[in-house]
Amino acid sequence: MIKFLDLQKINAQYETEIHQAIKEVVDSGWYILGKSVTTFEQNFAQYTGAKHCIGVANGLDALILILNGYIELGKLKQGDEIIVPANTFIATILAISKVGCTPVLVEPDEATFLLSEKNLEGHITTKTKAIMPVHLYGQLVDMSVINACAKKHNLLVIEDAAQAHGANDNGNIAGSSGDAAGFSFYPGKNLGALGDGGAITTNDDALAAIVRVLRNYGSEKKYHNKVVGVNSRLDEIQAAILDVKLKYLDRDTEKRRQIAKRYSTEISNPKIQLPQWDFDKKNHVFHLYVIRSNNRPDLQAYLEQNGIQTIVHYPIPPHQQKAYQTLNHLSFPITERIHKEVLSLPISPVMEQEEVDMVIKTLNGYGK
Ligand SMILES: *Cc1c(COP(=O)(O)O)cnc(C)c1O
């Protein structure tokens, strides 16, 4: 069976270094907000090109804390509208509703699955205060377009970069092209911890300062609380592990891109639609390689029978979820079609060439 993602094999690559990193934290006797978190924050800030990085407990919290931070700074308030792609993972939308803002869902560009200019303008009202582009599947949204629109209407730009560690379009790097960005280090992400983890990156000094306080009970000085905060910190152990894996992230991404290139050049079947991307750019880090089929259940069953595990990201669009009954009446034909047709193929830095061969050969034989 070719696994969709072999996490054990991914982490086994770094086994010795990870064990050493964990041992150092254990031996240090300091387990929360210590040296490992500070070091990782510095390294990850540098990696993204952002001025600040603040480690938090997970990717959802990263997004919530950015929004809370802007509320504390008076740049956002409850009831404000935030534009978000309708085809995102639920967490982007959860963050907006958690802080009492209103998610305004818009269709993505069907070719890229991403937010684009033509989908923005018609949705901006006097209540709109922010745009949350999502670098879905690891592909960078065209931030120059988003930033120009934001500038024109005086909006904040908050990137959901949970799937896009290292995506780079000519120096426009995920995490440093908007006002702030949220990252996830969930184990399956391109930079994955051995548990939960997340981070905020930003060039905004005031936002960095307030989220540092918010993640730690709203307290700068122990037992002195200046704002109503939460407990959402990146663990020392996870930070130490992430620091090991960060060194290899670009190499791992290159492996993903090589597999994606093989899929894109060698899969050829009229029943399968391949993702559109530019081989020569580094703006796609292939967290997921997503194909489309108008008979997905049949294709997925066929692949399963032939020993290839696939996953659907995501089967139900947010506006059709039970948790969002107030959005259930809305209709987003592009988003709904995407959710019905997408299928994610196995892709990871530890996939063997023979496995890639097998996936290609099996897909080319589909329906024949
Ligand atoms: C994974 C993910 C998140 C949430 O991250 P967690 O660490 O799981 O909370 C948010 N947005 C997107 C697009 C994601 O893929």
SS3 of the chain: the string is CECCCCHHHHHHCCHHHHHHHHHHHHHHCCCECCHHHHHHHHHHHHHHCCCEEEEECCHHHHHHHHHHHHHHCCCCCCCCEEEEECCCCHHHHHHHHHCCCEEEEECCCCCCCCCCHHHCHHHCCCCEEEECCECHHHECCCHHHHHHHHHHHCCEEEEECCCCCCCEECCEECCCCCCEEEEECCCCCCCCCCCCCEEEEECCHHHHHHHHHHCECCEEECCEECCCCCECCCEHHHHHHHHHHHCCHHHHHHHHHHHHHHHHHHCCCCCCECCCCCCCCECECCCCEEEECCCHHHHHHHHHHCCECCECCCCCCHHHCHHHHHHCCCCCHHHHHHHHHEEEECCCCCCCHHHHHHHHHHHHCCCC
Total Cβ atoms within 10 A of residue 35: 14
Closest approach atom of ligand 1 to CA 58:
7
Please work out whether the CB of residue 44 comes within 6 Å of at least one atom of ligand 1: no
Task: Give pLDDT tens digits for 23-63.
Answer: 999 999 999 999 999 999 999 999 999 999 999 999 999 99
For residue 116, the model assigns a pLDDT of 87
* Strand 81-85 to 156-160 pairing: unpaired
For residue 112, the model assigns a pLDDT of 95
Task: Give pLDDT tens digits for 300-316.
Answer: 999 999 999 999 999 99
Who's near 151: CB < 8 A, 6+ residues apart? none
- Atom 12, ligand 1: which residue's CA is nearest? 162
Residue 18 pairs in a beta bridge with: none
> Which residue among 94, 140, 186 has the greatest number of ligand 1 atoms within 8 angstroms of its CB, and so is best to mutate?
186
Distance in angstroms (rounded) separating the CA atoms of residues 165 and 16: 24
Distance in angstroms (rounded) separating the CA atoms of residues 197 and 193: 7
pLDDT value at 368 more than 90: no
For residue 363, the model assigns a pLDDT of 98
Please work out whether the CB of residue 159 comes within 6 Å of at least one atom of ligand 1: no
Average pLDDT over residues 99-107: 98
With beta carbons less than 8 A apart as the criterion, state whether 208 and 168 touch. no
For residue 140, the model assigns a pLDDT of 97
With beta carbons less than 8 A apart as the criterion, state whether 185 and 193 touch. yes
* Strand 180-184 to 172-173 pairing: unpaired
Confidence of residue 264 (pLDDT cuts 50, 70, 90): very high
Task: Give pLDDT tens digits for 201-241.
Answer: 999 999 999 999 999 999 988 889 989 999 999 999 999 99
Closest approach atom of ligand 1 to CA 185:
7
pTM above threshold 0.95: yes
pLDDT value at 330 more than 90: yes
Write the CA distances from 5 to 31, 90, 296, integer angstroms.
30, 21, 20
For residue 118, the model assigns a pLDDT of 85
Would you state the structure tokens that stand for residue 283, as one six-digit string?
Answer: 């703006």
Task: Give pLDDT tens digits for 56-73.
Answer: 999 999 999 999 999 999
For residue 117, the model assigns a pLDDT of 84
Please work out whether the CB of residue 59 comes within 6 Å of at least one atom of ligand 1: yes
Residue 356 φ then ψ, to 5°: -65, -45
Closest approach atom of ligand 1 to CA 198:
7
pLDDT value at 119 more than 90: no
